[in-house]
Chains A and B, each alone.
Chain A
């Protein structure tokens, strides 16, 4: 590592080499664990499908073929068609875009707010900590999905409110995780040294506590993508998330439930898609947890 960076002389190049070594480091961490590797490959596949959806999908996801509605899987329609004759495979492929985008927005929202609150609570302790954490306890005391439904129905049924609602529901867990890390890291001698060097609290929190609290944040964030996928699908299934005719997996399952006695395929395949995506992020999260939080060989892996 040091040899690589020694070749670079200017500061900008050093910066670039750092991002590079960061990516290399990340890949090494993932590769060192089978669960993480499997999950990563699934996630990579989902991202690929989402990006190249127009090229992969055999049909336009909203093109109706009223001659063949509720068709079973066939050569023309590998996963069958729905009640208006739309190709299910194409809709699932385009649905990947919505699923991933929404899950990422949710987790980003959760991370930004949750990490900030947790950091502030853990760093300042005492009254600040009590205020923040008891406030979050109020959120936790309401069943998550119910809370999300209340938020969506209060602020209006659309996808932005659905994302906001699920993001809010996830904040307490992230805050608690970060707070507990921050509480222990703030007692580390290097944090005291940082205060002894006259750094202000912002610098101490962001540059000295946060970077050392990253592993649990990464693990929780990854696992929460999986949960967000399920919750977005659930909200969509209940009609509170992505609205038809947009091809969302949850909404597809919802629309298909009326015909479940006629044909199971329109509800089975979107559900399988959800399961695969959830599995991918879950495996990645579990693998990362093994390496980052419980791995004794973490240092070796990174080297």
Chain B
């Protein structure tokens, strides 16, 4: 088995405020293999975007990675110098954002902006760079690329601007693409086009992707495996088919129930009662305890570990309902029991990775 492309271990990203730390990402681990598409779903404020930004190393102040490691091909990104990171960003790892028009510089034509990426990361001369721009824009379905490359970002619609952003992200043939809700700001028909385009590009270019979204439909359609995030914690992690078929965490279950179906005849949409906990003041036990229909005494005392619920240990759930099943080993840097517990090594498809770490 090839080593994973990206391995995040025990990552915590906290925002330091005057009232204490906001634990946006709290001790999460995930593994992404080459060619795999991993979806992270969760509601607004669950920390999924912060998780992605942490991987990219562009967490906004006062956010800070306080613990954990992010290994890309065995190199720890959190320990890298700025120069080394710059070498990787845009080149090996690139980013697709939520608001395409906001991520393009209004002062330059889109062609200029794409050549800029190429200039920063490749040795191509000016002529070749423009050739590549036209090729990319054409590939992304932008009509008459030579002409459109001379347009400014405000002359593009949201969908077209997102195509430009994707062209920029793919300009240097990255291995890993981090997508932060790339379709959320677009209207539904355009969403479908962009999703199809990304899926096609992913398989053609054999991209590995980490795809953050709040849209269960997008995950079902595009991802191989998924992590469900709640209050800074990935509470369930497994293959998309397995999780959708038979969710093993009460939150995943509740979340899936809220997805409306065209077969629904109920007068109201299902909702999850209550609201997520304050990230500044997380409960000492399970993060979902306040809203969980199956809450037990144990849930109130200690953060549950990952229980292996299927797929030979690749499918895990952070819930005491599965007590008795094997758990993931604690990571070497696991904090003492009073602090948030549990490691969360979660390798997609690897037979019980425990012991060899």
Question: Which residues of A does B touch, CB under 8 Å?
Answer: 1-2, 5-6, 11, 14, 188-190, 192-200, 203, 207-208, 211-212, 214, 299
For B, the interface residue count at a CB cutoff of 8 angstroms equals 37
- In the complex formed, the residue of A with least CB distance to B155 is A2
A211-B105 contact in complex given A2-B151, A196-B56, A199-B120, C-beta closer than 8 Å = yes
Q: Could you tell me if A198 and B86 are in contact, using CB atoms closer than 8 angstroms?
A: yes
CB of B126 within 8 Å of the partner chain: yes
A193-B151 contact in complex given A188-B102, A198-B85, C-beta closer than 8 Å = no
Q: Could you tell me if B107 and A197 are in contact, using CB atoms closer than 8 angstroms?
A: no
Within the complex, what minimum Cβ distance (angstroms) separates B282 from chain A? 27
Q: Could you tell me if B102 and A211 are in contact, using CB atoms closer than 8 angstroms?
A: no
A14-B168 contact in complex given A190-B102, A194-B105, A198-B91, C-beta closer than 8 Å = no
Within the complex, what minimum Cβ distance (angstroms) separates B212 from chain A? 14
In the assembly, what is the distance between CA of A2 and CA of B150, in Å? 6
CB of B103 within 8 Å of the partner chain: yes
Q: Could you tell me if B105 and A189 are in contact, using CB atoms closer than 8 angstroms?
A: no
Secondary structure of the B contact surface, majority rule: helix
In the assembly, what is the distance between CA of A207 and CA of B90, in Å? 16
CB of B58 within 8 Å of the partner chain: yes
Q: Could you tell me if A203 and B120 are in contact, using CB atoms closer than 8 angstroms?
A: yes
User: Contact check: which of A6, A188, A196, A214 meets B58 at CB < 8 Å?
Assistant: A196
Per-residue contact bits, chain B 75-97, to A (CB 8 Å; 1 contact, 0 not): 00000000101111111001101
In the assembly, what is the distance between CA of A192 and CA of B154, in Å? 18
Residues of the A chain whose Cβ atoms lie less than 8 Å from the Cβ of B95: 193, 196-197
Q: Could you tell me if A190 and B106 are in contact, using CB atoms closer than 8 angstroms?
A: yes
A197-B151 contact in complex given A190-B102, A192-B60, A207-B116, C-beta closer than 8 Å = no
A212-B90 contact in complex given A6-B150, A11-B130, C-beta closer than 8 Å = no
Report, nearest first, the 4 A-B pairs whose CB atoms are least far apart. A198-B89, A197-B90, A211-B107, A198-B90
Q: Could you tell me if B150 and A199 are in contact, using CB atoms closer than 8 angstroms?
A: no
Residues of the B chain whose Cβ atoms lie less than 8 Å from the Cβ of A199: 86, 90, 116, 120
Residues of the B chain whose Cβ atoms lie less than 8 Å from the Cβ of A212: 105-107
Residues of the B chain whose Cβ atoms lie less than 8 Å from the Cβ of A200: 83, 86, 120
- In the complex formed, the residue of A with least CB distance to B108 is A211
Residues of the A chain whose Cβ atoms lie less than 8 Å from the Cβ of B300: none
CB of B99 within 8 Å of the partner chain: yes
In the assembly, what is the distance between CA of A159 and CA of B167, in Å? 54
In the assembly, what is the distance between CA of A203 and CA of B121, in Å? 12
In the assembly, what is the distance between CA of A86 and CA of B316, in Å? 97
CB of B127 within 8 Å of the partner chain: yes
A189-B127 contact in complex given A6-B146, A198-B120, A203-B120, C-beta closer than 8 Å = no
Within the complex, what minimum Cβ distance (angstroms) separates B277 from chain A? 28
Within the complex, what minimum Cβ distance (angstroms) separates A299 from chain B? 7
User: Contact check: which of B90, B121, B148, B154 meets A299 at CB < 8 Å?
Assistant: B154
User: Contact check: which of B89, B126, B147 meets A196 at CB < 8 Å?
Assistant: B89
In the assembly, what is the distance between CA of A214 and CA of B108, in Å? 13
In the assembly, what is the distance between CA of A189 and CA of B95, in Å? 12
In the assembly, what is the distance between CA of A5 and CA of B130, in Å? 14
Within the complex, what minimum Cβ distance (angstroms) separates B320 from chain A? 39
A189-B97 contact in complex given A197-B90, A198-B86, A198-B88, C-beta closer than 8 Å = yes
Within the complex, what minimum Cβ distance (angstroms) separates B94 from chain A? 7
Residues of the B chain whose Cβ atoms lie less than 8 Å from the Cβ of A195: 58, 89
In the assembly, what is the distance between CA of A207 and CA of B119, in Å? 12
- In the complex formed, the residue of B with least CB distance to A189 is B102
Q: Could you tell me if B106 and A198 are in contact, using CB atoms closer than 8 angstroms?
A: no
CB of B117 within 8 Å of the partner chain: yes
Interface residues in B119-149 (C-beta closer than 8 Å to A): 120-121, 126-127, 130, 146-148
Within the complex, what minimum Cβ distance (angstroms) separates B356 from chain A? 33
Give the one of A6, A14, A197, A299 with max B CB within 10 A.
A197
Interface residues in B212-239 (C-beta closer than 8 Å to A): none
CB of B209 within 8 Å of the partner chain: no
In the assembly, what is the distance between CA of A192 and CA of B97, in Å? 10
Residues of the A chain whose Cβ atoms lie less than 8 Å from the Cβ of B146: 6
Residues of the A chain whose Cβ atoms lie less than 8 Å from the Cβ of B108: 207, 211
Q: Could you tell me if B105 and A197 are in contact, using CB atoms closer than 8 angstroms?
A: no
Within the complex, what minimum Cβ distance (angstroms) separates B126 from chain A? 6
- Additional 12 contacts, C-beta under 8 A, given A11-B130, A198-B90: A6-B150, A11-B127, A189-B99, A193-B95, A196-B58, A196-B90, A197-B94, A198-B85, A199-B90, A199-B120, A208-B105, A211-B107
